[in-house]
Amino acid sequence: MPKTSLADFSREIAGLVTATAPGIAAVHASRHNSSSAVYWREGLFVAASEAIETEEGITLTLPSGNSAAAEFVGRDPTTGITVLKSEVPDGAPALKPAGRTEAGNLVVAVGRGEASTLAGFGIVSEAGPAWRSMRGGLIDRRIRLSASIDPRAEGGAAIDAEGGFVGLVLFGPHRRALVIPAETVDRVAATLAEKGHMPRGYLGAGLHRVHQEKARGAMVMSLEAGGPAEKAGLVVGDIITSWNGETVEGVRDLIRQIGPDSVGKTVALGILRGGEARNLDVVVGARPRS
């Protein structure tokens, strides 16, 4: 087996960063630090929703150092993804997809400051199945990083040892680095590019957590006329205890279930009404846009 020196390894990492940098821009949409964005396709960039504080007057610093105005296309707070549109005179290349990602894989995070490329190096500390965010967004894979990453690189690209795009770099609770996988980015960005928003699930019911010895779940406190909950036969005072067989401990559990992918689906609700267990089917609606 050929030996690789530390200097060779260093050059390999630097080469990955150099090859990725043409597809990364700095985003100026905050009163504080800039953040990063990844060129997706056809003049569209994907960025971290949390880092985009304004939807007007957004500018990008491109790899060439040139500035370009960016149009806000849409955001999905449930997955943390925002799409921006800009003319790209540099002809930024779209990143190639990565292969299988496993715990222990080496990962390089690539972002951009105003005048420089940003890089962070680490490993995949956890690789797991699909999960839901606290706001109900479906994330196709769980990918957490053990890496030191500059805050300005949020919204940048996580790449593997072959230079493939693993996903978008975000910061989770306690500023721990995580990756929104490429397949989630593609799915969400395509919808945002088409519609400007992600449809959200909607029951049309005001709910309150119930945590008693004989009843746990989410109590229906109000109903919107003609909403999905009313149409399904829910009444004020019902306690929702399960969703498709999964226990509901409170309102937060329901929020996690009512994500964009739930719209139009028929869901079996377990409820308590006057202490009696019942089952109702509800067709999840799309939340009206305010």
Average pLDDT over residues 107-114: 94
| DSSP for 131-192, written as a single string | EE-TT--EESSEEEEEE---GGGTT-EEE-TTS-EEEEEEE-GGG-EEEEEHHHHHHHHHHH
Which of the pair, 256 or 91, is modelled with greater confidence?
A: 256
At 183, list the tokens. Answer: 């397949």
Domains of the chain: 1-196 (2.40.10.120), 201-286 (2.30.42.10)
At 13, list the tokens. Answer: 């990492």
Confidence of residue 235 (pLDDT cuts 50, 70, 90): very high
Is pLDDT of 289 > 90? Answer: no
Q: What was the pLDDT predicted at 286?
A: 87
Is pLDDT of 229 > 70? Answer: yes
Percent of residues, the chain, with pLDDT higher than 70: 98
Q: What was the pLDDT predicted at 2?
A: 61
Q: Mind listing the pLDDT tens digit for each residue in 15-29?
A: 999 999 999 999 999
Q: What was the pLDDT predicted at 212?
A: 82
